[in-house]
Structure 1
Amino acid sequence: MHSFWIIFKQAFLTKARTKSFIATTVIVAASFFLVANLSNIIALFDGGSEDADVLHVLDESGQLTPLLQEQLAAVDSPVQAMPTEMSETELREGISEGTIEAYIELTQAQGLAARYVTESANGMGSGADVEQAVQSMQTVLAADEIGLSQAEVSQLFSPASFEREAVAVSSKSEEELNQARGLVYVLILLIYVAVIYYPNMIAMEVANEKSSRVMEILISSVSPVKHMFAKIAGIGMLGILQMLIFGTAGYFAIKSAGTDLAGGITGVFGFSDLKISTFLFAFLFFLLGYFLYAVLAALLGSLVSRTEDVQQLMLPMMFLVIIASFIAFSGIAMPEATYVTVASYIPFFAPLVMFLRVGMLDIPLWEPLLSIAIMLVTIGVLGTIGARVYRGGVLMYGPSQSLKDIRKAIRLGDNK
């Protein structure tokens, strides 16, 4: 057991101290702060101009500008409509020189007409708030013409009461689905990264030890099977540590943004009303998915003698992960689909797809437990086969780029 912990520590510390691991961790953590504070950075480069949201209004009547200001305020728009004494030629020159963001010309003849002018199609958010305010102005003006009161206008445009109800026992309400969707999406993405990144790291590590002949020294003092599982555990602990760093960095990045998002992030991503069991299942499927693919990766990594050959031999495993991610991400929109249910019991898809169903649906407890049992059996079978392949594979040298070498590795391991 002492040798197991030595290899475990070596696998953990060796990768944790590499420049690539440190750089990846720092860059990803820094990107969280960059994205969270992107609006503040953009405002900084804009020079904090007070005219950034000023909309100059050409209004010959002088009566339409106050109404536009009122409607913009009603939709909580940052755009400030200001009457201007400049001519249209001067306004166009101001836009070309960058001193004016946009202007609008309002006229009223047969009806309200507006012409919105910016330097590019993206100017001032493409004028979505302004267009909405102008449409509201048209409604108000038309109501005045036909003599409708404000109460009658409000009654005319009041929305109908519309409720959704699902009769399926496993269905959640639309509100509950919206709360869960963000969290499930984030956690599926984390599980996807874990099962595609860390097992690949194991395969590269095993192949590197073989190519440098370090493997021959290691297996002379410790069994290949113990060596394999110690590496899997060491890299797995490294993965958990890195995910905790990312999660902590993301939390403090949002807190540092100083916006309303910082206070409402739990509601945005569905953390506020989600069950503790969902987080437990997320961690459990993270571990099971990692071990499932890690055993497979160690098996494949033991078959190659050069690190250059690892990616080619890992392609089948990568395809399994990619297919699982496609099913999971498409299933977010329709978690009760038959193909999603079937895929949730296939061990190589279950870490992503069954967790999707756990997060999005109120399914009986026996369903995720059955999926977990299938995965545990598969990990056991893969572990048994993987140990035999690994025992012989670490002793194989020369070109090896075919899955047919598994049989050769098993025979070599059994004869060892």
Structure 2
Amino acid sequence: MPLFVKDFSWEQTDKVVFITVPLKGVKASNVDIFSSEEYLKVSFPPYLFECFLYDTVEDTDSVAQVGNGTVVFKVLKKEPGKWPQLQSDVIDNKEAMKVKRTEAFAKAEEKLKEQSKLKAEQKRANEQYALKEIMKAEEEERNRIERVKQSERQKATEELEKWKEEQRLAAEKEKERLMEERRKEEAAEREARKEQEKILKRQTRGKKANIFEQNAEGAPKREVGKISVSFTHRQFPTPERESVKPKEEEWLKKQAEARRIVELEDENLSEEEKNPMWLRDKGNEFFKAGNLEAAINAYSHALRLNHTLHSCYSNRAACHLKMRNFFKCIEDCTRALELLVPPVPQNADSRVKCHVRKGTAFCQLEMYVEGLQDYEAALKIDPNNQQIKDDAEKIRHLIQTETVE
């Protein structure tokens, strides 16, 4: 049975009540404090302090400090004024004390439940707010990515239009140059004819012009003329009529290839790095690992050593497509298709890949008509490929939509 503490002290003002309870040598860590609007309890075994307050207090604003061997309560009165005594009259009635004690504990339990409910609601509100912020951030990120894509599409379109304009201007300039050369040639021909006519006039001056005039031997006279002879530059000393042209061209290609390989030789390179097939396989490893720039370097070096490797052009086109270098992708696919001749079943898969990559690059540049042509070319090679059929149908739908608009 606990020992009830009676030697406590208290003081008051109109608004505050101070209650000091001695701990009697018990450690502060062993003290259990409970408080409500009308009831205070301090348990520090084997001692127990109970106080049934004279009037109600603000439980939420009241505080209890433990230290220096005492517990000091600072409780705020709900109604200002002096209390005639600290404890209520119920301390003389055990049944009333039991009821008060039970009510206090019930109110405290209800209060804890209410606080837990408020905390749970606050937690849910915080989670909803955090979720909204995350969704907002994701939406902003999607918008940013869409803006970047739109900017890239616009940039690619502008570059394409600029390239088309440059090609048109270059064609017009070349046409003007050819026309200017033609005008100069015609002017030179006219000057030559005028000069020849002047010479003939000087030669026939004072004589009666007669086209049937004969010379002393009785033969008709010939007009003075000029014969021009031009020679075609050749690599070989023999005349072209005596040469075997296909063999000469093959020899020249081999000589050019040998000179190019000598120019690419580097004493710092290993034997494997001078092997184009090894470089192609190395580029494939880089591509699988996601190192696209290293893969492009490997394929490019292999093509410098052997420019007839269509697989290097096709694989480098795949790298350019992933890096959104669409013009370079189209260029490499075109070069690979030029090397994949004649079209036989053994190279059908390679030709299909080149057409699909080229068509995809055109579509990324919003050149859907050109892209559809490559997809249709791929379908001619592999008519049973359902994925290519579906993609071609989507492109046709885009073209029809643009036409309607």
Q: TM-score range by the shorter chain?
A: under 0.3
Higher strand content, 1 or 2: 2
Q: TM-score, normalised by structure 2?
A: 0.22
Higher RCO, 1 vs 2 (CA within 8 Å, ≥6 residues apart)? 1
Rg larger in structure: 2
